[in-house]
Structure 1
Amino acid sequence: MKTIIRKTAIAAAFIFAVVTSSFNANAQEDNLVYEINSNPSIGITIPNAVGASYLIKNQNGAIVYKGQVKSDKTFYIPTKKLGTGKFCFYIGSLAIQSFQVK
């Protein structure tokens, strides 16, 4: 039960952080769209998730980037390391947010 509540809190915090991000993102079909030239990185803040593992998978399900949340501060993922395409951000096995890099 605690795990479900924690995952829900993490998901809500992440979605709030992405929505209020200062990056130039345009919502299209419930996805965030980042222009690779104007967004050299994507900032992510996940409070109360220190130690949690994260993954970014492409639309084929392949892992293209992974790491671990090291603090409550914003961490950045370089868009050039992702390339262009559609992606989904996961905390553990929980899909948090889909987005696109153009």
Structure 2
Amino acid sequence: MDNVEVWTSPDNIKRYEEQSQGKSSTLIERMKQAQPYTFIPQVENAVNTWKLDSTTAYPEKIAVLFNRNTASSAEGMITYARQSDKVITVGENS
């Protein structure tokens, strides 16, 4: 699944253009065509559903990433996740 979204403000578009160093970018063009100050999917036609069935493999290890800005319910999720032997937590104190 690709749930990454991009903010379409004029300043953000400008930064993306600076990063691309003049190369043509489909994402930048989509950002320019989108309504300003909204989010758009980073990948056009991205998969946004996930169906579990009998062939779906369960992960052997899971990494949970967090930083000092993690708070509230996310901290609770990290606490619960640490109870599993499959989970590795990576980050700084929240």
Q: Which of 1 and 2 has greater Rg?
A: 2
- Structure with higher helix content: 2
Normalised by the length of structure 2, the TM-score is 0.24
Task: Please state which structure has a larger fraction of its residues in strand.
Answer: 1
